[in-house]
Amino acid sequence: MDARLAKVFVIAVSIVAVTVVAYTVGIRTIGMCTNDVCNEASPFWQTSANRSSAQNASSRTLQFQIPRYKNIQFVHEKTLLKRNPACGNLADILTRGEIVICALKKPYNQFFQMKTKNGYIGEDIRLATELGRALGVKVIYKMAYDTNEDVVNAIHNGEGDIGLAKLSYTMERARKVAYSRPYAVVKKVVLLNRITMIDKDKQTLNKILNNLNAKIAVMQNTSYITFAKDLFPNAQIYGETEWENGAVKKLVKGEVVALIRDELQIKSLMKEQPELLLNFIPITLKDQYDSISAITNLKAHSLISYIDKFLENEYKVRTVKEILHIYKDYLK
């Protein structure tokens, strides 16, 4: 009897030990600050088996349903709303019975504005819908602008009440529009060619990329142009109009040594093309955050105050993990 108990005890201890080792190995990754190299534990770089387990666990706790668009109208022309009174004032919005959202023309802005067979979904759509419901007004979602800067200029010129286009904060934009509290916060990530890390383990990321020989790709007409220049002012920064066929392809071909984008886009890319990890290493800039906010006209004090209180008290700001899980079936 004692021998059998001893055998069972040994087996139990072995199982626990193997589980701990497997979990530890599964979550090891490399994180890097701009000023030093450091290690951190993160589920980002789990093995495929561990990722599957994590996703199964997430699916049991996260619920998502495509919203019913009872109070939102999607329009695609700038001229449709010229008849409306001046936009941007909370009293005018309540008088009109509608709130005008300026958004990007493109039907697919990953995680934030995505067209499906049942309508549009995404974090921008969700915020617009819930804000309209809280105000008790109809939402006019004006998808008529080519770039993020066009949306900023539209709000500055009074073409809409609120701008939603996955907009990051920059000092230049803040001179034109007012920013709300963030409704999403992501970290900035560098996707770096592994060759640059050879014999440079003790070097900082700043030394690797902040020099005249370093070529870095970012998306054109986004805040990441400014971010890249601020982080690595001595590097050559290339603005790309396309993501996979532009920035990613240049990295694969060796035309640039790195690209910079937010963690949602990088994690999505790694999920779709895991083979990229053979040649490239994603590095989270732990001291760099990208806050995504709504924007209003600088004079719309009552509106920006209302949005801030709404986000603070009534709106569920989702984590990166939640966003990745909720929209995983809608990624291209």
Q: What percent of the chain has pLDDT over 70?
A: 74
Which pLDDT score, from 0 to 100, does residue 99 have?
Answer: 94
- Pick 100 or 29 by higher pLDDT: 100
Which pLDDT score, from 0 to 100, does residue 80 have?
Answer: 57
Burial of 147 (0-12, 13-18, 19+ CB in 10 A): middle
**What is the per-residue pLDDT across 50-99, written as a single tens digit (0 to 9) for each?**
334 444 444 444 455 555 556 899 998 876 554 455 667 899 999 999 99
- Pick 43 or 110 by higher pLDDT: 110
Q: Distance between CA 85 and CA 219 in Å, rounded? A: 35
Which pLDDT score, from 0 to 100, does residue 35 have?
Answer: 43
Inter-residue contact 213 to 234 (CB < 8 Å): no
Parallel/antiparallel/unpaired status of strands 177-193 and 162-168 = unpaired
Q: Distance between CA 136 and CA 115 in Å, rounded? A: 25
Which pLDDT score, from 0 to 100, does residue 107 have?
Answer: 84
Q: What percent of the chain has pLDDT over 90?
A: 56
Model confidence at 8, pLDDT cuts 50, 70, 90, reads very low
- Give whole-number Cα distances, 172 to 153, 169, 177, in Å: 12, 9, 9
The mean pLDDT value of the chain amounts to 80
Q: Distance between CA 192 and CA 210 in Å, rounded? A: 13
Burial of 128 (0-12, 13-18, 19+ CB in 10 A): buried
**Domains with residue ranges and CATH for the chain:** 72-182+292-330 (3.40.190.10)
**What is the per-residue pLDDT across 292-325, written as a single tens digit (0 to 9) for each?**
999 999 999 999 999 999 999 999 999 999 999 9
CA angle 92, 93, 97 (to 5 degrees): 115
Which pLDDT score, from 0 to 100, does residue 79 have?
Answer: 64
Which pLDDT score, from 0 to 100, does residue 88 have?
Answer: 73
Which pLDDT score, from 0 to 100, does residue 217 have?
Answer: 95
Which pLDDT score, from 0 to 100, does residue 2 have?
Answer: 52
In which region does residue 30 sit, left (phi positive, over 0), alpha (psi from -120 to 50) or beta (all else)? Answer: beta
Q: What are phi and psi of 104, to 5 degrees?
A: -70, 150
**What is the per-residue pLDDT across 170-215, written as a single tens digit (0 to 9) for each?**
999 999 999 999 999 999 999 998 887 765 555 788 888 999 999 9
Which pLDDT score, from 0 to 100, does residue 66 have?
Answer: 55
SS3 of residue 232 by DSSP: coil
Model confidence at 10, pLDDT cuts 50, 70, 90, reads very low
CA angle 137, 138, 144 (to 5 degrees): 135
